[in-house]
Structure 1
């Protein structure tokens, strides 16, 4: 295959005059990572902070927009956490984690838990109880799901963790915080 044919196979026309990156390209092509990153920027999602406590009782947490409902029977969520993160290590070590879905007034908390600041739990209101699977960010979350780890699957530089939900706390009067196009924003309109 000529270089010209190879270039055409990696960038194919798409509706609207845009091109498709990666058709026929090797999986390690950096343009694929850039293309996926750009694509996902345009896919707004809710914002969560996944929390867990390690064996020494130290709380850990990280901002996460890769959260998905998997099944209702048994109730199961999945979260994708960066491989090597202390939050992932705490969740896998304890076999438990909490998913804190943030409300529209919690942008500062989302940014704090995305920053890696080691003192983040000293800067937010949180609590646990005997049934909590991780710290609950009670002032910043409109809903919290306590989960037990059922499966962890490494995928590239992340680990997909499936958690069976054992308890949910929810405040239906709050609007969720969204993230997309590198911006946090509230859900439009009024709360249901």
Structure 2
């Protein structure tokens, strides 16, 4: 029986920093702002007042991060629900088979229920926030409670986004084998784009 799963994932991103970012006193300082009405937590650069990313934490929808903007302001690294893959929502965690139920391809549809979304550390060189969700069975009962602890920090000219994921089983749980699932990043793509991705 699955009682607890702990995973540390670090997602590094930085295209480049222009000189204007390097000359301000607040370089590297971040702040987190929560909007409970819209169910979002925004991470903002204090030197430019630009939003770097938005954590979406709707009441009955899988938590996801979109958009993630490049730190230089020249582009967005995520895509939300493209026509050819409607279930893919930026950066998210979704298991494909938990007791036979697919949480990866069902971001809503009575599969998810928010328990909490909160800011842990509001400002500084590091900000932290948390989402807690119940994964529901077909009768609406909780199968598992997942906790996502996120942090973003400025470190040596880079911004580092980290995730600690924890799943607490509420009943006997079987996670089925599947070719994909877990942490997933939907990036913008169009046929004919000349691009490559390198990961660790």
With structure 1 as the length reference, what TM-score do the two structures score? Answer: 0.26
With structure 2 as the length reference, what TM-score do the two structures score? Answer: 0.26
The higher-RCO structure (CA 8 Å, 6+ apart) is 2
Larger Rg: 1
Q: Which one has the bigger helix percentage?
A: 1
Q: Which one has the bigger strand percentage?
A: 2
